[in-house]
Structure 1
Amino acid sequence: MNITKTQQLADGLAQDAAWRTARNAATATDVETLTLDRAVLAGTDSSMSVKLDSWAAADQQRSGRCWLFAGLNSLRGDIMDTTGIKDLELSQSWLHYWDKLEKANYFLGAMAQLADRPLSDRTVQHLLDTPAEDGGQWNMFVALVRKYGVVPKYAMPETWSSSHTKSMNRDLATALRAGALRIRAEASVKDSVSAAAGVAAAHEEALAAVHRILTAHLGVPPEEFLWQYRDKDGEFHREGVRTPLQFAAEYLPDDLDDYVCVVNDPRETSPYGELFTVEYLGNVIGEDGPEPVTYLNAPVDVLKAAVVDALQDGRPVWFGCDTAAQTDRTRGVWDAHLHDYEGFYGVDLDLDKEQRVLTGESMMTHAMVITGVDLAEDGTPRRWRVENSWGDKAAEKGFWTMNDSWFGEYVFEIAVHRDRLPQQYRDALSGTPHVLPAWDPMGALA
């Protein structure tokens, strides 16, 4: 486009009264405020026919640990019911620490596997781009809990770095990239025995560097702790010393391995009723290799029905979504038509869910917990109550309202017990997953 053409377009805009109004407004005020549909806001309230939460919202602060917060928040209600504690948080730092170490080990192993590819290879570059990010998936959460257990927050409290992870992640990434280069150099040695020994040594050296940096930021995780608390009636309980695994075995559900990730991926290349996995996506490497991260693809109505079933059974639901789309962060509201950007600009911006995924416009960016639903008389969901992990200053003391229109467009993933799915989808869980490339949008970490 040249200057003459631009001037012609500008001259045309100058004759458009609606555009002049939009220009004057957008140069003076945030467009998110200008485009808010007041009718949608007025028609949204936070009352729910099913509501499970009776605790305070947690706060991940300046970190990307939402998936860990959501996982632990989905489980703490049971512990509160069992013990009578009024409000309880489990330590996010505990799982965060082990996740970083596990991800580092996973990344270094992947670098060894990919050492014969050029450094410019797309998969290699994708992994090098974020070797130690905060995000994760439900399967990764369960793998950590199974291996390391959980502890109350007082047993491993927050540090500055656990709540403000930017500097820590920067330095961990540097250490891992340096380790990746050394692994590649050792792997290029012609003698296979020497190459294998060199790769193993480089792997261990890099992992030791990660451990040193990580422990400086988050502290030394406890091997055991004294479990004591005061219940909501004021009675003090001293239960004795527990290890994290003992605590998890005593208080967490014993069927976490039966929970499955169900996604709504509308792309034609991802048929409903099929299992999928993503290359090099994971954290924990078990005795039989990496713990798999798998998804079952299903229509969004299957996801909604499973969530309603879980909530009516008293079970909060972990879910992943594109939280930044069509949102009002002050009031804590989501609706598919909350902002009228098209009307404001006079431009067609309509993309459906498949188009948004295909073009990178939308993907899972955040994980939270659904703690309630408002059902119409015919049993269909009207809106949902969501526990966010952004503190209690916004929305209803940190609990948001998601209108059902938004669920269909911007929710991508839920974690529910397999028995909550229709039989045809339960049967599909025994299939062989289709493998998606490492950079596929379904591999996005919350």
Structure 2
Amino acid sequence: MTKAISQTQLKSYCKDVQARPSTAVIRRAVTKNGIYASAQDAQTIIDNTPIFSIDLDTGKVANQKQSGRCWMFAALNTMRHEVKDLFKLPDGFELSQNYTFFWDKFEKANYFYENIIKTADKALSSRKVSFLLQTPQQDGGQWDMIVALIEKYGVVPQSVYPEAQASSASRELNITLNLKLRKDAVTLRKLVNDGAKTDAIEAAKDAMLQEIYRFLSLTLGEPPVKFDFEYRDDKQEYHLDQGLTPKSFYDKYVGWDLSEYVSVINAPTEDKPYNHTYSVEMLGNVVGGREVKHLNVEIATFKELAIKQLSAGQSVWFGVDMGPQIERDNGLMATGIHREDELFDIDLSMTKAERLDYGESLMTHAMVLTGVDLVDGKPTKWKVENSWGDKIGNKGYFTMSDDWMSEYCYQVVIKKEFLPANLVAAYDEKPTELQPWDPMGALA
């Protein structure tokens, strides 16, 4: 039964506010300083000093600027750490994020076209078609998606394919590209529903991809096919490596067997039993490339795996909800840094599973774990390499409390050698496919 708010109720609510002795002082604080500043707990900052028992030296942080490429930056940074140390490269060395950005945009266009063709028999009002058309493509991605790109296209140094304006500030590119993709969706759906032959549909798609390639080439630059790598190492000794391709550069300078790195998640919802794998329908970028696949484990196991990899000297790609309980200026991610519940005397508590199920949380950002503080063998806080430049946090690094990790961290990428045999076997099983809009399909 529908019931409107009455005047009697409003008077009661107002009386309750006025009767509280703290009303005036809280109102003055919040209206002047805002919610988070008024609710900040200084003790939480003190309790999370940036000192770590395991602390990898990974150099200067990168800066994704006004783009959503954190997943690329995080992945390329984990590789850069080893490349820099192995070849004694200077601290400013970076792998080209613009290069993987170019191929991601191109492959996502093809991925979108394929899904539009597959769903052409469904009404525009169907949830799957609406999902596709809402965001034909975006900057975000997943670990397995960067793997698919590197396996197909390799990588190059940033000096060979530097940043473009549209990669550092991608809004205009995305608006234009999504307009183009939606326009092409009209054509492809009409061809399918008019009974066009497969050859005709493929010819139309090929012409569309040619236009996408031209658009990206003019916007981001033509990606290199062959190049020379010229640099001075950290001792100022000169090096020149000629006639490289992106794949030969990857093989020589990075050389990771990417099939050995797997996505491990912590999603404590009833629909995802632990120690099983999950994929997400219509999530990916490279058609025919590596599929997105997650192994779900309990949070204690999740942390143990990350600690094993850090202890072996290797940083860890990880994904979080980079919204709640963070302080950008202090570089702090800690539960209790903002105590809004105490400030307003309201219950804001939800479990991690409830936040996922009810749309309150999902993965929004990827970074790199480069350290952890262990006390009596247990983690208390973690060191985080972000990709927001060195002007925030501790020269771009953040401190994450262990409690915050439990609540808002969803994904780590772990080398198989650090997984026990039962989890390796679980990862190799056929995954359960989740709906496209599942929170574990969110793009960092």
User: Residue 268 of structure 2 corresponds to which residue in structure 1?
Assistant: 266
Note the C-alpha offset of 1:261.
Answer: 0.3
* Map 1:135-284 → 2, pairs under 5 A: 135-190=140-195, 194-284=196-286
1:189, 1:195 within 8 Å by CA — same for their partners in 2? no
Amino acid of the residue matched to residue 110 of structure 1?
N
Measured in 2, the distance between the counterparts of 1:7 and 1:63 equals 48
Q: 1:209 and 1:345 mapped to 2: Cα distance?
A: 54
Q: Which residue of 2 aligns with 1:66?
A: 70
Q: Which amino acid aligns with 2:41?
A: D
How far off its partner does 1:211 sit? Answer: 1.9
Which range moved further: 199-208 or 248-257? 199-208
Question: Matched residues in 1 for 2:28 and 2:205: separation?
Answer: 58
CA contact (8 A) 1:161 1:168 kept: yes
Q: 1:9 to 1:425 in 2, by over 3 A?
A: same
- Is 1:428 equivalent to 2:426 in the alignment? yes
Letter in 1 for 2:378: T
User: For residue 395 of structure 1, what is the aligned residue in structure 2?
Assistant: 393
Give the SS at the match of 1:381: strand
Between the aligned partners of 1:246 and 1:265, the Cα distance in structure 2 is: 38
Contact 1:85 1:231 in 2 (8 A): yes
Q: Which residue of 1 aligns with 2:21?
A: 17
CA distance in 2, matches of 1:203, 1:20: 64
The answer for the alignment partner of 1:30 in structure 2 is 34
1:4 Cα deviation after fit: 4.1
SS of 1:270 mapped into structure 2: coil
Contact 1:187 1:198 in 2 (8 A): no
Q: How much does 1:3 deviate?
A: 4.2
Report if the CA contact (8 A) 1:84-1:231 is conserved.
yes
Residue matched to 1:83 = 87
CA–CA separation in structure 1 for the residues paired with 2:221 and 2:147: 23
- Say which SS state the counterpart of residue 159 (structure 2) adopts: helix
Could you say which residue in structure 1 is the equivalent of 2:366? 367
- Cα distance 1:6–1:208, how it changes in 2: closer, same or farther (>3 A)? farther
Q: Which moved more, 1:420-429 or 1:13-22?
A: 13-22
Work out the CA distance in 1 between the residues paired with 2:209 and 2:257.
32
Separation of aligned partners in 2, 1:346 and 1:108: 50
Pairwise CA RMSD of aligned residues? 1.2
**What residue number does 1:5 align with?**
9
SS of match in other structure, 1:311: helix
**Correspondences of 1:309-324 after superposition (within 5 Å):** 309-324=308-323
Shift of 1:241: 2.6
Match of 1:438 in 2: 436
Partner letter of residue 311 of structure 2? Q
**In terms of mean alpha carbon deviation, does 320-329 or 196-205 score higher?**
196-205
Q: Alpha-carbon deviation of 1:329?
A: 0.5
Report the CA distance between 1:48 and its aligned residue.
1.1
1:108 maps to what in 2? 113
Equivalent in the alignment of 2:101 = 96
How many residue pairs get aligned? The number is 439
The aligned residue for residue 411 of structure 2 is 413
* CA apart distance, 1:234: 1.3
Distance in 1 between residues matched to 2:101 and 2:211, nearest whole Å: 17
Tell me the distance in 1 between the aligned counterparts of 2:175 and 2:277: 34
C-alpha distance in structure 2 between counterparts of 1:179 and 1:291, whole Å: 26
Q: Which amino acid aligns with 1:311?
A: L
Partner of 2:137: 132
Q: 1:424: how far off?
A: 1.7
Deviation of 1:226 (Å): 1.2
Query: 2-side partners of 1:203 and 1:240: how far apart?
Result: 37
For residues 368-401 of structure 1, the C-alpha deviation after alignment (integer angstroms, 9 at most, x for no partner) is 000111111x211111111000000011100111
Question: In structure 1, what is the equivalent of residue 297 of structure 2?
Answer: 298
Cα shift at 1:305: 0.8
Per-residue CA deviation, residues 62-115 of structure 1 (Å, 9 max, x unaligned), is: 100000000000011111112111221110000000000001000100100000
| SS of equivalent residue, structure 1 residue 59 | coil
CA separation in 2, counterparts of 1:26 and 1:336?
Answer: 20
Say whether the 8 Å CA contact 2:147–2:290 is kept in structure 1.
no
How many Å apart are 1:160 and its aligned residue? 1.0
Give the secondary-structure state (helix, strand or coil) at the position aligned to 1:6.
Answer: helix
